[in-house]
Amino acid sequence: MHFDERDCGDFRIYGGALDAPGGGYLAAVVVMRVRGLSGEPVAVFRDERLAGGHRFKDARSALHFAMDAGRRAAQESAESVGS
């Protein structure tokens, strides 16, 4: 398993490349709203089988895909709050 985490505005993105049964890696992501709240962080997006469970050949590709999906989810969530 390989993991990465990054801040994106009011959000923290946790991405993962998880070992897939039979080989390869699955992309997974959790996006948490960590700022702009009066309480605990809140998950705004979670997907443990991004791309419909597509198996990536290497961890780097799966992790890159997961972090991109997390950034998009954070941007969409920020836009919906700002509307």
pTM across the whole model: 0.90
**First vs last Cα of the chain: how many Å apart?**
37
Q: Each residue of 5-42: pLDDT tens digit?
A: 999 999 999 999 999 999 999 999 999 999 877 778 99
Amino acid identity of 27? A
DSSP structural state of residue 71: H
Quick: pLDDT tens for 46-62: 999 999 999 999 999 99
